[in-house]
A and B are shown apart, each in its own frame.
Chain A
Amino acid sequence: MHQLMRVVTPIIAAAALALLSVQPAYAATSGGTGTTFTITGGALSITVPGAANLGTQAAGITALTATGSLGDVTVSDARGTIAGWSTTALSTAFAGTTTAVPASEITYVGGTATTTGIVVVAPLTATDLTSAKPVAAGVSAIGVNSGKWNPTITVALPAGTVVGTYTATITHSVL
Chain B
Amino acid sequence: MRSFLLAPLLVVAALTATTGTAAASTSVPATQIQSVSNAVSNVAASDAAPAPGGGSVGLRLMDAPAEAASDPRARVYIVDHLKPGAVIQRRVEVSNTSQTPMHVALYAAAAGINAGSFTGADGRTQNGLSSWTKLDQATLELAPGARVPDMVTVTVPADAAPGEQYAAIWAEIGGGGPGVSLVNRVGLRMYVDVGGDNPAPTSFLLDSLTAVRGPDGSPGVSAQVHNDGGRALDISGAVSLSDGPGALSAGPFPAQVGSTLAPGQTVSVMIPLDRRLPDGPWQVSLTLRSGLTEKTAQGRILFPSGPGASDPVSLRDSLSSPLMIGLLVLLVAAAIGAGVLIARRRARRPSDS
Contacts and interface: CB of A to CB of B under 8 A. Distances in A.
Interface in A1-36: 3-4, 7-8, 10-12, 14-15, 17-19, 21-36
Contact of B58 (A43, A52, A72): A43
Contacts of B65: 30-33, 35-36
A18 B322 CA distance: 9
A58 interface: no
Contacts of A49: 173-175, 182-184
Contact of B187 (A137, A165, A174): A174
B137 interface: no
B23 A45 contact: no
A148 to B, nearest CB: 10
A78 B170 CA distance: 17
Interface string B110-129: 01000001111111000000
Contacts of A31: 65, 67, 81, 199
Nearest to B19: A22
B286 interface: no
A47 B100 CA distance: 13
B326 to A, nearest CB: 4
Contact of A51 (B57, B121, B177, B203): B177
A81 B79 CA distance: 15
B250 interface: no
A47 B51 CA distance: 9
B315 interface: no
B182 A45 contact: no
B182 A30 contact: no
Contact of B181 (A76, A117, A120, A169): A169
Interface in A73-95: 73-74, 76, 78-86, 88, 90
Contact of B180 (A14, A36, A51, A74): A51
A10 B81 contact: no
A27 B83 CA distance: 19
A14 B12 contact: yes
Contact of A30 (B23, B74, B120, B333): B74
B319 interface: no
B305 interface: no
A8 B98 CA distance: 78
Given A29-B79, A49-B173, A140-B257, A165 B178 contact: yes
B63 interface: yes
A21 B327 CA distance: 13
Contacts, number: 336
B213 interface: no
A30 B291 CA distance: 11
A124 B327 CA distance: 51
Contacts of B19: 18, 21-22
A4 B345 CA distance: 11
A25 B119 contact: no
Nearest to B201: A26
Interface string B40-65: 11101100100100111111111111
Contacts of B25: 24-25
A21 B179 contact: no
Contacts of A15: 12, 326, 329-330, 333
B259 to A, nearest CB: 9
Interface string A139-175: 1111110000000010000000000010111111111
A132 interface: yes
A38 interface: yes
Contact of B203 (A12, A21, A24): A24
B64 A48 contact: no
Interface in B270-304: 291-293
Interface in A28-73: 28-39, 41-54, 68, 70-73
B153 interface: no
A43 B19 CA distance: 45
Contacts of B183: 49, 169-172
A131 interface: yes
A96 interface: no
B199 A173 contact: no
Contact of B202 (A27, A167, A170): A27
User: Which interface residue of B61, B64, B123, B184 has the most chain A CB atoms within 10 A?
Assistant: B184
Contacts of A43: 58-60, 93, 95, 186
12 contacts: A3-B341, A7-B340, A24-B24, A32-B65, A32-B88, A48-B102, A51-B179, A68-B180, A79-B75, A132-B120, A169-B174, A175-B189
Given A35-B67, A83-B72, 4 more contacts: A22-B322, A37-B69, A50-B54, A173-B184
